[in-house]
Amino acid sequence: MISGSASTLVVLGRLSAPFGVQGWLRLHPFGDDPQSWKVIGDWRVHADADAPADQWGTLKLAALKLQNTGPVVKFEGCDDRNGSEKLVGLYVAVPRHELPDTGEDEYYWGDLIGLTVVNSAGVTLGQIDRLLETGADDVLVVVDARSGDKPVERLIPFVSAVVTDVDREAGVVCVEWDAQW
C-alpha cells in the first residue's frame, strides 16, 4: 500500500508481457479476483511499487479479459505491440476507495501490510512486511525488528488453521504460531 497526499494506493499486480499485436498485456495479479477490477477506470502505473502516490502515472483501462493463462488488459491509447512493450514491468495500482468491497474473511494484501501479528500466548511476533504467493496458499512475511541487530523474519501461512482473527481496525492479526518457529 502506498500513502500519498491525494489517496492511498493499493498495488494490484504487474504488467508482465505483451499479449498479441493489438496492445493487450498479460497482468500478473496480486489477488484472486482480477475480474472485479474491470469497473476501475483509471489505473495508476509505476516501475517502483514503493514509489510515492503522487509519482504514479495514470492509464485508462479500455478492457480486461480472463484468458486460460490469466488476465489480460488493454489501455486506451495502447493499440499495438510496440506500445504494450513499453508498459511491461510496470506495477498497477488504484486508490483504495475505488476497489470493490471484500467479502467476509477476505482481505486485500495492502490492508494486511503493517499489521501486528500476535500469537495465542499473547507474544508479539512482529509486523507483516509483505505477502508471498506460493501457489498453494499465501504466506505472511512477518518481520520482528525488536530482536537485536538482525531482524527475525517469519513465514506464516495465511490459512484458517493458523490465522485465527484479523482485526484491521485494531491493527492486529492473531495466529496459532509458536514464537520459536
DSSP assignment, residue 149? S
Q: Residue 128 has which C-alpha cell?
A: 507483516
- Say if 104 falls within a structural domain: no
Q: pLDDT tens digits for 118-163?
A: 999 999 999 999 888 787 888 999 999 876 678 899 999 999 999 9
- pLDDT of 32 over the 70 cut: no
Q: Range with the lowest mean pLDDT among 25-29, 44-48, 94-98, 160-164?
A: 94-98
If asked whether residues 87 and 19 sit together in one domain, one would say yes
Give the other-Cβ count within 10 Å of 65's Cβ: 12
SS3 of residue 43 by DSSP: strand
Give the total number of structural domains in the chain.
2
Last residue of a domain, one of 41, 69, 98: 98
Q: What is the mean pLDDT of residues 44-72?
A: 93
Domain of residue 72: give its range: 2-98
If asked whether residues 16 and 93 sit together in one domain, one would say yes
For position 147, what pLDDT does the model report?
A: 64
What burial class does residue 17 get, using C-beta atoms within 10 Å of its C-beta: 0-12 exposed, 13-18 middle, 19+ buried? middle
If asked whether residues 91 and 116 sit together in one domain, one would say no
Q: What is the CATH number of the domain that holds 87?
A: 2.40.30.60
- Say if 181 falls within a structural domain: no
Under a CB-based contact definition with an 8 Å cutoff, are residues 57 and 44 in contact? yes
Give dist(CA 36, CA 94) in Å, integer.
Answer: 13
> Among the ranges 33-42, 84-93, 109-118, which has the highest mean pLDDT value?
84-93
Give dist(CA 55, CA 62) in Å, integer.
Answer: 22
Cα first-last separation, the chain: 28
Q: Which of 174, 57, 62 is nearest to 124 (CA)?
A: 174
Which residue blocks in the chain are alpha helix, DSSP H? 81-85, 109-112
Give 147 or 107, the one with higher predicted confidence: 107
Q: Residue 13 has which C-alpha cell?
A: 499486480
- CA geometry: angle 58, 28, 103, nearest 5 deg: 85
If asked whether residues 168 and 114 sit together in one domain, one would say yes
If asked whether residues 7 and 87 sit together in one domain, one would say yes
